[in-house]
Amino acid sequence: MTHSTKTRATTSVIISLVFLSILYSTLPVQATPVIRFRLLAVERYFDSINMAEGGDLINKLVTYQNWDNSTSPYVSHIHLLSMRAKADLPAAAQPCYRGTSTKANVEYEIKNFLSQAVDEEIVIFYYCGHGGNQYLSLDAGISHTELDSWLSWGGLADAYVNVILDTCHSGSWINDGASPGVLGTDRNVLAACKSDQSAWCWGCHTAFTDEGLIPGFGSATDANTDGWISVKEVFDYAEPACVAYAAGNGETQEPVSWYDMCTGNMPIVQRDSTASFPDFTYPTTAHTIGHPKYIDGPDTYVTSHTDLTLIAEDTGCPTSGIEFTKYRIDGGSWITYTIPFDLSGYTDGSHTIEYYSKDNAGNEEPHHLFTVILDNTAPETTLTIGSPQYTDGGDTYVTPSTPFTLAASDGAGSGVASTGYSINLGP
């Protein structure tokens, strides 16, 4: 009996252990999100000199672990079009070679390679060679409408797209950094020079790429100390370096930029190999207008009892969460938003509410504005008694055919919705 009891107990333990093993092995494991980088580099030529900057750019990028496909969760995809023979490329760039830099090949690579980008993938289109006012000079020119259309294909519409143009007159694509121009909407654009300037090279050595961008990955100031160098941070290094190098060679070249994605905070290289992938996207905040309200075309009328609600989200991968949401009314002091608010204490008329959010990584979204018209004043209605009538002191006598007219006015308010009346306090 004693032996038999021990046998049953041992069997029970074994069964329990097996059960727990199966249980834990079948529990879902949350996968680490894959963070993807994708580059198409195109090097053409200046005059008769085959440019080498595309290959040099690749040669530098793959020294960082987010580009060399050696470290999870980073995955990179790199293609190169060049006028050089594959054997003449840097060793790191040779596996990336996909053919010569013709217009047809550029179009094919954008539509069939860059367009494979997935949601939130970081994409770079780099071009070095001849160019003019809003076009790229290859065997046939690429116009601004063509390039803008190609860079909107497939997954590029949902990716983080960065365009780098090391070419003459490249500032013309973004109005010399004053606006998105013909290429910068929903993209970041780095241009080697202003629209009326040339992009200079000495041999196959360009002021913008070789003196600015490539050394900038290693030497730019990590302004937000996140261990990564962003597109803006590398440009902030490349711009003065390019200006100084061109000036030292007797030329004027002033790079310009436009940031329409994440205010330029998009990480390009992981300079600190221990740094986590940063939250580089700013939060988004929307507003809702409660009741009572009345909408008349572009105008929204509210009362001092109408709730105004702000809803903030921090999306992307990864996210650091909302640090705060703030608003102000008519340009007044900023107020930290916690609960819905209203316009109690304000006078009737138009009022403008400005608001924004900031996340815990320091990303601040562009400010939003909306306007409402406060109407706390009730309309006024007057009664006119027609004829026949007879007034005796405070009494007015009428006949069954005497007309009664009601006239309502709401002044500058939202307007009269309805006017009603009853006879002898009836319904």
The pLDDT value recorded for residue 235 is: 98
* Number of Cβ within a 10 Å radius of residue 286: 11
Which among 185, 113, 194, 191 has a CA at the least distance from the CA of 145? 185
User: Under 8 Å CB-to-CB from 294, ≥6 apart: which residues?
Assistant: 300, 301, 375, 414, 415, 417
Residues of the chain with CATH 3.40.50.1460: 35-270
Cα–Cα dist 223/218, whole Å: 13
Q: What pLDDT sits at residue 318?
A: 60
Task: Please give the pLDDT value at position 241.
Answer: 97
Judged on CB neighbours under 10 Å (0-12, 13-18, 19+), 33 is exposed
- Burial class of residue 333 (count of CB atoms within 10 Å of its CB; 0-12, 13-18, 19+): exposed
**How many Cβ atoms sit within 10 Å of the Cβ of residue 95?**
13
Please state which CATH number belongs to domain 35-270. 3.40.50.1460
Was domain 284-374 assigned CATH 3.40.50.720?
no
Beta bridge partners of 372: 351
Give 10-residue mean pLDDT values along the chain (427 residues): 36 37 40 86 89 96 96 95 95 97 98 95 96 94 96 94 97 96 94 97 91 97 93 98 97 96 88 88 90 94 96 75 94 97 95 93 87 91 92 90 90 82 81
* pLDDT value of residue 246: 96
Which residue ranges does the chain devote to CATH 2.60.40.10?
A: 284-374
Among 389, 293, 385, 299, CA closest to 343:
293
